[in-house]
């Protein structure tokens, strides 16, 4: 039973909030959709992020995820997590490329972070350089292992699958994950309007449907995540693989329970749209009441539209 939860017009409960706390990043992934633009001096402060989360908590949000850019490029990341954790959410997680995770994992755990998703598309140094334009594979691997060691559990690896880049590396990654008790999430590449190469999606998009069908045949068990866009989890050989296919819009939207905040402090009701954003941070900066801020949140929720309502 879901109590004290706000639902949108389509009866979808709003259970999680993903906040992009910076769009600065220490990598330059060739597929990155660069979530909005904001200069570092205008980034939301730890107190402002706390206020946003406080309103989210009031309307029944259970889970907070911090993302970027890379959230760990913020020097105040531990303070941010500590402030949000004081609101006692069911789950606080963070998505990072892992490069700075070795440095921060322990302090983040102490500050109240529950778990991390680390984006790692390959274990091969050459492929890593091709995808990220950087040479940080060693640091990212070490960061992942540190997260496992300090119990940011469960650690998940996000692997975006790209045709002719890493489609043949899934098995190696799955073995690495199994060895360290990590869940592997395979992500289907989505169209990236900010990507430098116009043809990137067309050239490198690799549909995960066939793989998903194959997994369904060989898995020991399959479960569907009810409130996470209907994603399927496959259990096999003592490991776990989750498939993320935002391209399958109708199903993705039908089961979406997530609201987002852009780095410039706007409520983003839908992942795949930018035409229904709702301004939030200027109201917080004007010190408006919690009632008013809650109303703004509800306006954002009211703007949520499934991609395809058929």
Residues that bind ligand SAM (CB under 6 A): 25, 31-33, 67-68, 70, 95-97, 119, 158, 160, 187, 189-190, 192
205 vs 283 by CB, closer to ligand SAM: 205
198 vs 290 by CB, closer to ligand SAM: 198
Q: How far is the CB of 4 from ligand SAM (least distance, A)?
A: 29
Q: How far is the CB of 195 from ligand SAM (least distance, A)?
A: 7
Q: How far is the CB of 159 from ligand SAM (least distance, A)?
A: 8
Q: How far is the CB of 253 from ligand SAM (least distance, A)?
A: 16
195 vs 236 by CB, closer to ligand SAM: 195
25 vs 78 by CB, closer to ligand SAM: 25
96 vs 257 by CB, closer to ligand SAM: 96
93 vs 158 by CB, closer to ligand SAM: 158
Q: How far is the CB of 292 from ligand SAM (least distance, A)?
A: 30
Q: How far is the CB of 99 from ligand SAM (least distance, A)?
A: 9
Three-state SS sequence of the chain: CCCCCCECCCCCECCEEEEECCCCCCCCCCCCCCCCCCCHHHCCCHHHHHHHHHHHHHCCCCEEEEECCCHHHCCCHHHHHHHHHCCCCCEEEEEECCCCHHHHHHHHHHHCCCEEEEECCCCCHHHHHHHHCCCCHHHHHHHHHHHHHHCCCCCEEEEEEECCCCHHHHHHHHHHHHHHCCEEEEEECCCCCCCCCCCHHHHHECCCHHHHHHHHHHCCEEEECCCECCCEEEEECCEEEEEECCCCHHHHHHCECEEEECCCCEEECCCCCCCCCEECHHHHHCCCCHHHHHHHHHHHHHCCCCCCCC
């Amino acid at each position: 039973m879901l109590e004290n939860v706000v639902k949108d017009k389509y009866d979808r409960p709003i259970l999680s909030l993903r906040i992009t706390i910076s769009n600065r990043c220490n990598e330059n992934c060739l597929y990155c959709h660069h979530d909005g633009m904001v200069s570092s001096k205008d980034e939301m402060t730890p107190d402002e992020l706390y206020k946003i989360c406080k309103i989210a908590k009031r309307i029944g949000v259970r889970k907070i995820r911090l993302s970027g850019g890379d959230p760990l490029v913020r020097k105040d990341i531990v303070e941010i997590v500590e402030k949000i954790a004081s609101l006692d959410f069911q789950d606080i997680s963070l998505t990072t490329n892992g490069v700075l995770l070795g440095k921060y994992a322990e302090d983040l755990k102490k500050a109240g972070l529950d778990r991390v998703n680390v984006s790692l598309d390959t274990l091969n140094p050459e492929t890593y350089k091709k995808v990220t334009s950087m040479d940080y594979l060693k640091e990212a691997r070490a960061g992942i292992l540190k997260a496992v060691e300090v119990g940011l559990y469960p650690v998940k690896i996000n692997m975006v699958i790209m045709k002719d880049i890493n489609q043949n590396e899934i098995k190696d990654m799955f073995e690495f994950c199994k060895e360290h008790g990590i869940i592997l999430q395979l992500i289907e590449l989505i169209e990236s309007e900010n990507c430098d190469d116009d043809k990137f999606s067309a050239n490198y998009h690799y549909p995960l449907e066939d793989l998903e069908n194959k997994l369904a045949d060989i898995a020991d068990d399959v479960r569907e995540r009810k409130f996470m866009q209907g994603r399927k989890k496959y259990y096999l050989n003592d490991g776990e693989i989750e498939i993320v296919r935002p391209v399958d819009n109708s199903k993705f939207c039908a089961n979406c329970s997530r609201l987002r905040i852009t780095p410039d402090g706007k409520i983003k009701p839908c992942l795949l749209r930018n035409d229904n954003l709702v301004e939030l941070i200027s109201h917080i900066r004007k010190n408006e009441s919690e009632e008013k801020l809650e109303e703004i949140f509800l306006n954002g929720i009211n703007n949520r539209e499934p991609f395809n309502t058929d």
